[in-house]
Amino acid sequence: MDEIKTLLAKEAIRDQIYVYCRALDRIDNELGHSVFAEDSQVDYGPTYRGTGRGFIDNMLEQHRHMICTHHMMTNILIKVDGDKAVSETYMYAACKMPGKEGKTFTVEARCRDIDNWECRDGKWLIVKRTVAGDNTRIISRYKDLEMYNTSRDDKNDPSYAVLGEIE
């Protein structure tokens, strides 16, 4: 029975990690807040130190000025002990930004999110996040599909309708 509880906890945490990505790419503050406990703390190195929900607000304010973003989480290692857990998640983000003279550039970030989790009122929430930066680079403008970036920061994004069909 404990193995099943552990598997269910890991899956709930993994889901929250993916919800975090969705919140960033859809620029959805409320969704982002739902991943962090109200009293959570984030240490994102030189970028941000403060509350988890403040981090979401800060990050999404920056994302609103970008053309598009794409976050992926991989290599998720989760260890569960009752109502507490820890995880290490490799994160890759590509953020396309407007540049000078109508040119764009992309910042690619690779880091690891090291999270402490607690299950509160039946929901797994991040209570502490430390981000370990591994590699970041800037890519100059290249031929891309400018018009392919549709609906990213809008509730009209087709994913909201499809994911809303099942509660």
Average pLDDT over residues 22-46: 96
Query: Distance between CA 8 and CA 72 in Å, rounded?
Result: 22
Tell me the pLDDT tens digit for each residue of 57-105.
999 999 999 999 999 999 999 999 999 999 999 999 999 988 887 778 8
Q: Is the pLDDT of residue 44 over 80?
A: yes
The per-residue pLDDT for 167 is 57
Over residues 116-139, the pLDDT tens digits come to 999 999 999 999 999 998 777 666
What is the C-alpha separation between 155 and 132, in angstroms, rounded? 31
For the range 134-139, what are the long-range contacts, defined as Cβ-Cβ under 8 Å and sequence gap of 24 or more? Answer: 134/110, 135/109, 135/110, 136/107, 136/108, 136/109, 136/110, 136/111, 137/107, 137/108, 138/105, 138/106, 138/107, 138/108, 139/105, 139/106, 139/107, 139/108
Q: pLDDT of 143-161, one tens digit each?
A: 554 544 555 556 666 666 7
Q: Which of 133, 135, 115 is nearest to 125 (CA)?
A: 115
Domain locations along the chain: 2-147
2-147: CATH, from 2.40.128.720, 3.40.50.150, 1.10.287.3510, 3.10.450.50: 3.10.450.50
**pLDDT of 2 strictly over 90:** yes
Answer yes or no: is pLDDT of 47 > 90. no
Q: What is the pLDDT of residue 159?
A: 66
Helices (H) and strands (E) in the chain, counts: 4, 6
| Chain segment 105-121, per-residue pLDDT in tens | 888 889 999 999 999 99
Residues 6+ apart with CB under 8 A from 118: 37, 83, 84, 85, 124, 125, 127
Separation CA 77–CA 73 (nearest Å): 11
Mean residue pLDDT of the chain comes to 87
How much is the pLDDT for 145? 47
What pLDDT score was predicted for residue 133? 83
Q: What is the CB neighbour count within 10 angstroms for residue 90?
A: 16
Residues 6+ apart with CB under 8 A from 12: 119, 123, 124
| More confident site: 162 or 26 | 26
